[in-house]
Amino acid sequence: MEFLILKPSSLGDIIHAFPAVNALLREYPGAVADWLIHPAFAELTAYLPGIRNNIFFQRKKLGKLSSFPETFRTLSRDIRANRYDAVIDLQGLIRSAAIGRLAKSRIYAGPANPKEGLAKVAYNRLLHAPADRHALERNNIMISDFLDKKELDFSFRMNKVQAYADTADKILADAGLKTTQKFAAVAPGARWITKQWPPAFFANVIKKIHADHPDLHFLLLGTNDDSNAAEQIAASSGVPCTNLCGKTSLGALVEIIRKTELFLCNDSGPMHIAAALDIPVLAFFGPTSPVLTGPYTKNCRVLQPSLPCITCFKRECAASTCHTAIDAGATAEAANELLKN
């Protein structure tokens, strides 16, 4: 069996699809899948057995008149180079649904309640899942519906990829760190400004954590865009910190997170990596819902203020009241409990 999986982004969305796709491929001995994915996340599929090829979704190039024709021709060629037994769209957007039609597969399955309603016009098989369930569970339920099976093994582990682990070790060594040290990670970034707790808050929290755990070295992780916040955290916390923002590939980021004993973060993509690796996660939520997209692990604490405006899903907020409504001392106590357990 050959499948085409459509889940181009984002980082967390892709990780949330891994258990479902893994269960799908286990049902068919020798089955393989190609994955439509944004190039920025391509290294992730190395963690999922049975993925044969990445087919790149070049969103920016497809959005420009000058680069659209050649990019679309390449995308069409890559998809039509294979005869898929089924195409499964787990993204549920009009663009992903339209791209899936290029495969001309006899079976084209997608969500019965997609994010963009018109997307389901493209599908000839509708997959049902409750809207009020966590994103990972919705993917699992849709694959159960696709296979017409209620009992499936959705267990999944992101096992080490040695090439990325070697790169991670080199990054730490170049920063003057030993892999035998005890690390905690801080990821101060997020896609929305409303999801980002201020650097001063993170600095205050890790200062309190370090007072109880002086052997911890804090790794500041994220993209180049997060580097300024990371530098502020390092400068004002006064505890041992190393800023690795923008210095890791995605695969190396996974392997560095694997070495940590605590992951302190906003609602962000790296949070989902830590959860998938079963690293203790302490996450801050404001405008988004931890029920729908929180860290999918029992090894976590989610702190969300009790405010009338919480879970507003706004990308901009003049007040940002939620960012001052979590106490740094209580946060450090929650971190200590996770470290103790």
Contact 90, 5 (CB under 8 A): yes
> Pairing between strand 125-127 and 260-266?
unpaired
Residues 326 and 181 in one domain: yes
Q: Exposed e or buried b for every residue in 32-47, given b needs 16+ CB within 10 A?
A: ebbbbbbeebebbbbb
Residues 322 and 196 in one domain: yes
CATH code at position 174: 3.40.50.2000
> Pairing between strand 260-266 and 182-187?
parallel
Residues 220 and 132 in one domain: no
In a domain, 332, yes or no: yes
Mean pLDDT computed over 35-54: 97
In a domain, 295, yes or no: yes
pLDDT of 274: 98
Residues 118 and 171 in one domain: no
Q: CB-based contacts of 218: which residues, under 8 Å, 6+ apart?
A: 183, 184, 185, 186, 206, 210, 237, 239, 240, 241, 242
**pTM of structure:** 0.95
Structural domain tally of the chain? 2
Contact 114, 120 (CB under 8 A): yes
Q: First-to-last CA distance in the chain?
A: 43
Q: What is the pLDDT of residues 229-270, one digit of tens each?
A: 999 999 999 999 999 999 999 999 999 999 999 999 999 999
In a domain, 105, yes or no: yes
Residues 192 and 278 in one domain: yes
Q: Which domain holds residue 205?
A: 162-340
Q: What is the pLDDT of residues 211-233, one digit of tens each?
A: 999 999 999 999 999 999 999 99
pLDDT of 151: 87
Question: Which one, of 206, 167, 211, lies nearest residue 185 by Cα?
Answer: 206
Name the average pLDDT for the chain. 96
Number of Cβ atoms within 10 Å of the Cβ of 9: 18
Residues 107 and 226 in one domain: no
Residues 265 and 179 in one domain: yes
**Helix 269-276 vs helix 11-26: crossing angle, to nearest 10:** 40
Residues 276 and 195 in one domain: yes
Of 26-40, 131-145, 303-317, the one with minimum mean pLDDT is 303-317
Residues 129 and 76 in one domain: yes
Residues 62 and 173 in one domain: no
Residues 206 and 72 in one domain: no
pLDDT of 324: 86
Sign of CA dihedral 315, 142, 279, 39: negative
Residues 305 and 191 in one domain: yes
Boundary (domain end) residue, out of 147, 181, 215: 147
In a domain, 152, yes or no: no
Which DSSP helix (H) or strand (E) runs through 89? strand 86-89
Query: Length of the chain in residues, anyone?
Result: 341
The structure tokens listed for 139 are 């993917």
**What ranges make up the beta strands (E) of 90-235?**
108-111, 125-127, 182-187, 216-220
